[in-house]
Amino acid sequence: MLTTVRKLTVTVAALGALALGGSAIAGAADKTASPGTPRPQREALSSSVAAKVKAAALKKVPGATVLRTEAGGPYNSAYHAHIKTSSGAEKVVLVNGSFQATAVQADQGRGGKGRGGPGARGGPGAGEKALTGDTKDKVEAAVLAKYSGATIVRTETNGDSAAPYESHIKTSAGKELEVLVSKDFKVLDAREHPAHP
């Protein structure tokens, strides 16, 4: 009888220890897997990082005012800065992990216009991909050589057979163009789109 009671006591104690251990593990998992935990770390930039992102944005768009800097961004950018240009246009400057500005885009927050508005062909889901690295640099150099003073909104692969690359720009005169660029980085054509209000 005593042996049975002892066995029962040991079993209950073991089960209790397992339950406590399990709840401690679950509690630890809750703390690390909390859906709200990673978000602030992604959005809040330290002052030194924010300063570097701001400097990169201003180097890309001299004379602009930086409204705010944030982590992440389109095309897997490490950071981005919301700016207002000297002419009053709101833009987003994409900045990579080395704190180099890689692109200037229309600010998506303006009444849902920008990429999804009229003439914004080539946005997400259109089968076109953002260009990066050397290819992007060569396409943009060709476009800016042809359209001096223009602002590049985005540069990507072209979804039709007219040319392999395209760059969406806003000219110094305010026209919105989709500039087609050949495989050997020559400007072939430009399609004008209605300007966004």
Q: What is the pLDDT of residue 41?
A: 39
What are the tens digits of pLDDT across the range 20-74?
454 444 444 444 444 444 433 346 688 899 899 999 999 988 888 888 888 887 6
Give residue-wise pLDDT tens across range 161-187. 778 899 989 988 888 888 999 999 999
pLDDT tens profile 91-112: 888 888 899 988 887 775 543 3
Distance between CA atoms of residues 179 and 121, nearest Å = 12
Of 142 and 106, the one with more pLDDT: 142
Which is nearest to 102 in space by CA: 125, 134, 126? 134
DSSP 71-134: E--GGG-SEEEEEE-TTS-EEEEEE-TTS-EEEEEE-TTTTT-GGGSTT-TT-TTSS--B--HH
Percent of the chain with pLDDT over 70: 64
pTM of the model: 0.39
Among candidate residues 147, 149, 156, 151, the one with its CA nearest the CA of residue 170:
151
